[in-house]
Homo-oligomer: A and B are copies of this chain.
C-alpha cells in the first residue's frame, strides 16, 4: 500500500485538501461513492469506483434509475486501457448559475444552472491521470472526460471510448441505424429488444452509408421507459473528436459508445490537455421538458466571435424544390463525363431545363421581395453538375464559376435593388480537400458578390475514401469551413454534415444543418407521417435543422409526372412546422406558383417569426404529437404549431402563456375536417378568434396533419 501511495504524483499531494473532498481508494477493494444533486434536487448523480478501480456513474430522477451504474473509460491504441486500476486523487464540487443570451434562439435568455462534480483519477500502474466532470442540471446530466497535461499521457490514439449508459429496462426507443455517414433514415420506433430484428428494414438506401452493427443506433437517441420517463442521450460540444454512436447490448439494455473511425480504424487522435465532448442525458417525466431543455447549449462554450452583429436569422425561398422533384435540373446541359478544366460550357447545348438561369432567378427574387423574404437560395448556379456524383471525383466543383446563363453581377444588382439577399450554394460532393482548396476564393467570391450565407453540401462518400462524414478528420473540416466563413461574415447551413451538438452557441454563424431526413425525402418516396413529431426529440436536440417545410403542392407528380411520391403531411401541418421545427433559418420550399394558389395560407409563412423571445411546449409525445407556442423576438405576438401522427387527434391549446388581461386575435390555419395527409392534404380552414390568457382551444388535427396559429394583440392590425 505504501508503494502505491508513493505513485501519486507530487503535485496532487499539494492540492488544498480543505477545499476538496480528497479520497484515495484502495485499489481492488470497496466502493466509495460521491454524489451530487441537481439544483432542484430531483436528479442525483453518483460516482464510484467499482472493484478493480473501475470508474462508474449512476443517475436517478425522482428516485428512479435513469442510468444504472455504468462504466466509464477508454481503450487506447498501443497503450494500456483507461478503464480500470484507478484511484480517486481529487474530487471537487461547485455550483454554477448564470444566464446568457443567445445570438438567436428559442428563448431570449437561457439559464445555465448546475451542480458540478469533477473527479480526478489516477491510474497507479501507468501514472496517468484523467478527470471526469459531471454537471447535473434540473433537466439532466452532462459529463465529459478531461485529459490534463501530464508527462505520461501526451499524444494518444483512442481505440474506443467505453462509456456505458445502462438503462433500467426495455425502453421504447426512437432510433436510427448507427451509421458513419448518414442520418437520413426514417426513425424506427420500437422496444430496445426489437432493434436487432428491425435493423435490416431500418437501413434504407443512401448516397453514402456505412452501418457498423446489428444493434448500433445513433444519437440523439430518444427513449421512453415503461413507467413514463423520457430520456434523451446525445453529446454536446463535439470538437476535434469523432462522432459518437451507441452500441446496444440488447440483452441487458446497456448502450455503449461507438466512435466513428478513420480509414485506419483509429477513433481519435488526442493531445493533452484535451477534453472529450460532453455526453448528455436529458430526462423528465414530462415530454415537453425534453424539448424545452437547453442543457446541450449550456454545455457548449460561449461564442468565440467578438462581433456577431452580422449574424441574422433568415427566411428564404429558393431554386431548389423544382430540381428535387425532377421538374428542372441543376445541370446546364445533358452532357456527361465532364471535366471542369477542359470544358467550355459555351460550346455545349443547354438542356432547356436548367433552373438557375438569370431570368428565372429574378422571378424568385421578385417573389421574395413581394412577400418579405430575406433571401433566395440558388442551387445549380455553378459549373460541374453534369458530372458531380457517385464517382468519387475529386475536382468536382470550383465554387466560383457560374454557368453561362447565370449572371452573378446582374443578379446581385437586381436582388440588392429589392433588398433581397442571394444564398450561395456549395455542394462539395464529399470532396473535402477540393473544397478546402477553393474555400478562401469561394468565400471571397461571395463577399465580392453580396452573399452572406452559404448552404454547403456533402453528398456522397467523403474523399479520400476511408474517411467518414463523422470521423474526427471530417468533423474538423466542418468546423474549419465554419470558422473560415466567419472571417468573411458568412453564415453556414451545412447539409450532410455531422449532426449538431450545440456548437452554434460557440459559433453562431452555424445557422443551419440538415443531418436528418428532411423534406427532400418527401420527393424520394416520403417520410413517415409521424416524422415531424419525432425530430424535435431527436435530431433537433443538438441544434436547428434546415428542414425546408412549406410544401403546399404535396403531390410531386404535379411538378413531375414521373415522380409518384407525395408529401406525408397536410398543407396545414406544413405551416405548423415553422414553429415546431425550430430554426433561425426557415425556407418556404415550394414553388412560387404553388404559393400563389394558396395565398391565404401562405400568409402564415409570411408572418411567422424566425427568432424568438420565448418558447412553450404545450403538448408533446414523441411519435404522436408536438404542440409548441413561441413568442416572436421583440414583439408581443405568438405563433403556435402542432404536428400529429397518422392517427389524427384533437389537440388542446391553453393560452395561459399570453399576457393576462390582454385581448389577442388568433388566426388559426387548420386541417379541414375531411383532411388527410394522403387522401386530402390540401383541405384547410382559416379562421380568426379572439383569445386571452384564459382561453382554451380544442383543435382538430387530421391524420398526418396539424395546425398553425398566429396570435397578435387585438390592437395590432396588419
Q: Are A269 and B394 in contact (CB under 8 A)?
A: yes
Q: How many of these chains are in the complex?
A: 2
Q: Are B393 and A269 in contact (CB under 8 A)?
A: yes
A226 interface hit (Cβ, 8 Å): no
Q: Chain A, 553-568, contact with B by CB distance < 8 Å: what is the 0/1 string?
A: 0000000000000000
A271 interface hit (Cβ, 8 Å): yes
Cα A387 to Cα B273 with chains together (Å):
14
A271 partner, pick from B391, B467, B476, B480, beta carbons under 8 A: B391
Q: A154-B337, A269-B392, A433-B436 known; A473 and B464 CB under 8 Å?
A: yes
Q: Chain A, 487-503, contact with B by CB distance < 8 Å: what is the 0/1 string?
A: 00000000000000000
A247 interface hit (Cβ, 8 Å): no
Size bin of chain A's contact surface: 20 to 34
Give chain B residues whose Cβ lies under 8 Å from the Cβ of A473.
433, 464
* Listed stretches A38-46, A260-268, A299-307, A585-593; interface member: A260-268
Q: A392-B157, A437-B436 known; A339 and B271 CB under 8 Å?
A: yes
Describe A's contact surface by its main secondary structure.
loop
A440 interface hit (Cβ, 8 Å): yes
Q: Which among A155, A393, A464 has the greatest number of chain B C-beta atoms within 10 A? A: A464
Q: Are B437 and A480 in contact (CB under 8 A)?
A: yes
Q: Are B262 and A465 in contact (CB under 8 A)?
A: yes
Q: Are A393 and B339 in contact (CB under 8 A)?
A: no
Give chain B residues whose Cβ lies under 8 Å from the Cβ of A266.
465
Nearest chain B CB to A157's CB is how many angstroms away? Answer: 7
Q: A155-B391, A157-B392, A476-B394 known; A466 and B436 CB under 8 Å?
A: no
Q: Which among A263, A433, A465, A480 has the greatest number of chain B C-beta atoms within 10 A? A: A465
Q: Are B337 and A264 in contact (CB under 8 A)?
A: no
Give chain B residues whose Cβ lies under 8 Å from the Cβ of A393.
155, 269, 271
A149 interface hit (Cβ, 8 Å): yes
Give chain B residues whose Cβ lies under 8 Å from the Cβ of A394.
269, 476
Q: List 18 A-B contacts (CB under 8 A).
A: A154-B336, A154-B391, A155-B393, A262-B466, A263-B464, A263-B465, A263-B466, A264-B465, A266-B465, A269-B392, A269-B393, A271-B387, A394-B476, A433-B436, A436-B436, A440-B440, A464-B464, A464-B466
Q: Chain A, 88-128, contact with B by CB distance < 8 Å: what is the 0/1 string?
A: 00000000000000000000000000000000000000000
Nearest chain B CB to A655's CB is how many angstroms away? Answer: 51
A272 interface hit (Cβ, 8 Å): yes
Give chain B residues whose Cβ lies under 8 Å from the Cβ of A466.
262-264, 464, 466
Nearest chain B CB to A433's CB is how many angstroms away? Answer: 7
Give chain B residues whose Cβ lies under 8 Å from the Cβ of A436.
433, 436-437
Nearest chain B CB to A476's CB is how many angstroms away? Answer: 7
Cα A110 to Cα B473 with chains together (Å):
46
Query: Which residues of chain A from 460 to 493 have a CB within 8 Å of any chain B CB?
Result: 464-467, 473, 476, 480
Nearest residue, chain B, Cβ from A392: B269
Query: Which residues of chain A from 331 to 366 have a CB within 8 Å of any chain B CB?
Result: 336-337, 339
A155 partner, pick from B337, B433, B437, beta carbons under 8 A: B337
Cα A394 to Cα B155 with chains together (Å):
11
Give chain B residues whose Cβ lies under 8 Å from the Cβ of A273.
339
Cα A391 to Cα B268 with chains together (Å):
12
Q: Which among A149, A271, A272, A339 has the greatest number of chain B C-beta atoms within 10 A? A: A271
Give chain B residues whose Cβ lies under 8 Å from the Cβ of A271.
337, 339, 387, 391, 393
Give chain B residues whose Cβ lies under 8 Å from the Cβ of A149.
337
Q: Chain A, 5-47, contact with B by CB distance < 8 Å: what is the 0/1 string?
A: 0000000000000000000000000000000000000000000
Q: Are A337 and B272 in contact (CB under 8 A)?
A: yes
Cα A284 to Cα B387 with chains together (Å):
46
Cα A155 to Cα B392 with chains together (Å):
9
Nearest chain B CB to A302's CB is how many angstroms away? Answer: 18
Give chain B residues whose Cβ lies under 8 Å from the Cβ of A467.
263, 464
Nearest chain B CB to A459's CB is how many angstroms away? Answer: 16
Extra contacts, 7 of them, besides A437-B480, A464-B464, A464-B473 (Cβ < 8 A), are A154-B337, A263-B465, A269-B393, A269-B394, A271-B337, A273-B339, A464-B466
